[in-house]
Amino acid sequence: EVQLVESGGGLGQPGGSLRLSCAASGFSASDHHMDWVRQAPGKGLEWVGRTRNKANSYTTEYAASVKGRFTISRDDSKNSLYLQMNSLKTEDTAVYYCVRVEGSTRIDCWGQGTLVTVSS
Amino acid sequence: DIQLTQSPSFLSASVGDRVTITCRASQGISSYLAWYQQKPRKAPKLLIYVASTLQSGVPSRFSGSGSGTEFTLTISSLQPEDFATYYCQQLNSFPITFGQGTRLEIK
């Protein structure tokens, strides 16, 4: 069964850091582009960033709202990806989803999400 | 950035109704559009991709159409489990963007 499980959410301080993890199972994450998508409380979906697959050298793209503050990385040995979140802002408060991209045309698998709250 | 505007933002309908949700892109995106359904406190679920391809396991009452800048999601006969929020997403270019969502409620 294809599955994504996020962890690492919680309370972060403005200006602080948090690291989210996403463990993939049932498939090889290195074969797929993988994204992070977030959803602020009561709001819509916002794309955060992408790490392309191994064939595309794991290159990354980011939304303007997080570029320079957030970094996506992978560990193939653990079939996992990560979202390092620095210089946190209150507007980063959201549920963060790790997602699998299929064929660059759709998100076909979503994790359950992990809540990040940025507050002093 | 490509903006996606969904209409309506809120829709009240009855079981058995046919409903259509529109997604308009601020510039052409070919057919690189997907539709998702989200229920409260759950992750979204893929319904349609490349504008009109039904994801495996999704009921055939869901259909999608369009290309370029205008797209539609149609539910031919609403079932109780269809009351949810629907989002379109463009994957034509970065940054990837979503529509603001259409909340479908029971009349």
What is the per-residue pLDDT across A81-113, written as a single tens digit (0 to 9) for each?
A: 999 999 999 999 999 999 999 999 999 999 999
A113 touching B (Cβ < 8 Å): yes
Please state the rounded mean pLDDT for residues A6-13.
Answer: 97
Q: Which residues, including other chains, have CB under 8 Å from residue A21's CB and lie 6 or more apart?
A: A6, A7, A8, A80, A81, A82
Which residue in chain B has the smallest CA separation from A42? B40
Q: Are B49 and B59 in contact (CB under 8 A)?
A: no
B97 to A47: CB separation less than 8 angstroms, yes or no = yes
Give the pair of three-digit tokens for residue B2.
Answer: 């490509």
Residue-averaged pLDDT of chain A = 98
B 10-29 residues with CB < 8 A to A: none
The answer to whether A20 touches A9, Cβ cutoff 8 Å, is yes
Amino acid of residue B75? I
Q: Mutate which of A37, A45, A112 to disrupt the B interface (most B C-beta within 10 Å)? A: A45
B36 to chain A: which residues are within 8 Å by CB? 45, 107
Mutate to test the interface with A, among B91, B94, B97, B103 (most CBs of A within 10 A): B91
As given in the structure block, the two tokens for residue A84 are 């390092």
Q: Rounded mean pLDDT of A5-26?
A: 98
In this structure, the strands spanning A18-25 and A3-7 are antiparallel
Low-confidence ranges of chain B (pLDDT < 70): none
How much is the pLDDT for A71?
A: 98
Among candidates A47, A61, A62 on the partner chain, residue whose Cβ is nearest the Cβ of B98: A47
Could you give the CA distance from residue A107 to residue B46 in angstroms, rounded to a whole number? 7
Dist. CA B6–CA B59, nearest whole Å: 22
Instruction: Give the pLDDT score at B12.
Output: 97
**Residues 6 or more apart from B57 whose CB is under 8 A from it?**
none
Given this model, what pLDDT does residue A5 score?
98
